[in-house]
C-alpha cells in the first residue's frame, strides 16, 4: 500500500509585503495550446517555441508590467498538486507550465499534440546564450551561497559578457515578513529580465505565485536542481539516459534516501490517474 502524500501547504506562509506589485498587464499574447494532465494544464511547446514566447513577452512588457512566472513541470509536481492547493493555484496562475518531465511529453503526444521536453537546466543555458545579444539581465534566488558563487562563476566563464544583476541565497528557514520584503526589494531594484528560482518543488512554485508580480517586467523561472547541476554540486544524468526519460533513476542513485520514496509513491499515482483520465475521455467520446 502506498503512503499518502502529505499536504504541506501550511508550511509555506505568505509574507505580508508593503511593496505594491505592478498592476499593468503585459500586452496579451496569443494563447498557447495546452493539455490537461490530471489537474495541471501543460503547455504544448518545444524548447524553441517556448524561447520565442519568452522573447515576445519581454519585448512587449514595460517597466510597470507585473512580473510573471514559468513552472517547469514534472510528474512529481503534477501529483503533488492533487493534494496541495497552494501548488495547484500556482499552476493555474503561471504564465506557462511547460513539460519538463518526459512522461508529460508522452501524454501530450498520446493525445495527438506535438510537444517536447523543456527542462529547466537546458532552458537556463539557452536563455543565457540568447540573452547575450539582447542584453537580458539575470538574477538568481535560492541555493547556498557556495552554490550561487559557483553557478555565477560557471555562467560568466561560459557566456562572457552575461549580465548578472543579483544573486540571493535565502536562509534555510521560514523568513520573517521584514526579511522577505528586503529580499524582494533587492530583486526588484536590480531590474532583472529573468529571475532564476532554485528552491525545489513545491516551494519555488508557491514563492513565484506569491512574489513574482512584485518584481516588474521580469519572468521568474523555477528551475529546481539546475543551480546544483550547473554549479557542479550534483552531476546531471548523461544524455542517453535523459533521452529515454530515465533521468529519475539516475537521480535516485545519487540521493536514494531523499528521492527513492518520493518516486515510488508518485509514479504509481500518476499512472493510475492517467489511466482513469484516459478512460473517462474514451467514455465521453463514445457517448
pLDDT at 243: 86
CA angle 42–221–96, rounded 5-degree value:
25
Distance, CA of 159 to chain centre? 22
Question: How far is residue 19's CA from residue 1's CA, in Å, rounded to a whole number?
Answer: 47
Query: 137-165 burial, b for 16+ CB within 10 Å, e for fewer?
Result: bbbbbbbeeebbebbbeebeeebeebbbb
The answer to whether the beta carbons of residues 63 and 215 sit under 8 Å apart is no
Q: What pairs with residue 167 in β-bridges? A: 140
Segment-wise mean pLDDT, segments of 10 residues, the chain, 287 residues:
42 62 67 96 98 96 94 97 98 97 96 96 98 97 97 98 97 92 96 97 97 96 96 93 89 89 92 95 79
Predicted pLDDT at 141? 98
The rounded distance, in Å, linking the Cα atoms of 248 and 256 is 11
Are 49 and 98 contacting, i.e. CB atoms less than 8 angstroms apart? no
Cβ atoms within 10 A of the Cβ of 218, count? 29
Write the CB contacts of 51 (distance below 8 Å, at least 6 apart in sequence).
Answer: 123, 126, 127, 130
- In the prediction, which pLDDT does 286 show? 77
Residue 27 is predicted with a pLDDT of: 61
pLDDT of residue 262: 87
Considering the entire predicted model, what is its pTM?
A: 0.91
pLDDT for the residue numbered 244: 87
Looking at residue 284, its pLDDT comes to 83
Give the three cell numbers for residue 177.
515578513
User: Residue 9 has what DSSP assignment?
Assistant: G
Q: Find out whether 79 and 5 touch, Cβ atoms under 8 Å.
A: yes
pLDDT at 6: 46
Q: Does residue 30 have a cis peptide bond before it, meaning omega lies within 30 degrees of 0? A: no
Amino acid at each position: 500500500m502506498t503512503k499518502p502524500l502529505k499536504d504541506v501547504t501550511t508550511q509555506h506562509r505568505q509574507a505580508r509585503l508593503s511593496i505594491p506589485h505592478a498592476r499593468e498587464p503585459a500586452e496579451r499574447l496569443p494563447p498557447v495550446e495546452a493539455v490537461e494532465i490530471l489537474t495541471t494544464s501543460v503547455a504544448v511547446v518545444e524548447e524553441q517555441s517556448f524561447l520565442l514566447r519568452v522573447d515576445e513577452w519581454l519585448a512587449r512588457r514595460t517597466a510597470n508590467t507585473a512580473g510573471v512566472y514559468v513552472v517547469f513541470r514534472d510528474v512529481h509536481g503534477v501529483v503533488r498538486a492533487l493534494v496541495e492547493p497552494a501548488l495547484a493555484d500556482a499552476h493555474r496562475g503561471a504564465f506557462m507550465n511547460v513539460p519538463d518531465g518526459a512522461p508529460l511529453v508522452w501524454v501530450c503526444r498520446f493525445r495527438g499534440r506535438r510537444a517536447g521536453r523543456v527542462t529547466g537546466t537546458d532552458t537556463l543555458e539557452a536563455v543565457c546564450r540568447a540573452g547575450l545579444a539582447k542584453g537580458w539581465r539575470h538574477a538568481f534566488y535560492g541555493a547556498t551561497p557556495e552554490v550561487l558563487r559557483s553557478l555565477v562563476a560557471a555562467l560568466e566563464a561560459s557566456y562572457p559578457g552575461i549580465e548578472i544583476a543579483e544573486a540571493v541565497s535565502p536562509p534555510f528557514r521560514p523568513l520573517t515578513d521584514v526579511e522577505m520584503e528586503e529580499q524582494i526589494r533587492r530583486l526588484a531594484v536590480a531590474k532583472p529580465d529573468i529571475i532564476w528560482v532554485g528552491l525545489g518543488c513545491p516551494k519555488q512554485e508557491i514563492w513565484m505565485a506569491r512574489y513574482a508580480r512584485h518584481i516588474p517586467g521580469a519572468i521568474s523561472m523555477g528551475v529546481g536542481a539546475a543551480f546544483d547541476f550547473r554549479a557542479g554540486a550534483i552531476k546531471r544524468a548523461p544524455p542517453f539516459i535523459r533521452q529515454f526519460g530515465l533521468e529519475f533513476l539516475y537521480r535516485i542513485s545519487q540521493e536514494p534516501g531523499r528521492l527513492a520514496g518520493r518516486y515510488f509513491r508518485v509514479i504509481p499515482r500518476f499512472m493510475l490517474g492517467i489511466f482513469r483520465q484516459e478512460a473517462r475521455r474514451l467514455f465521453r467520446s463514445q457517448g
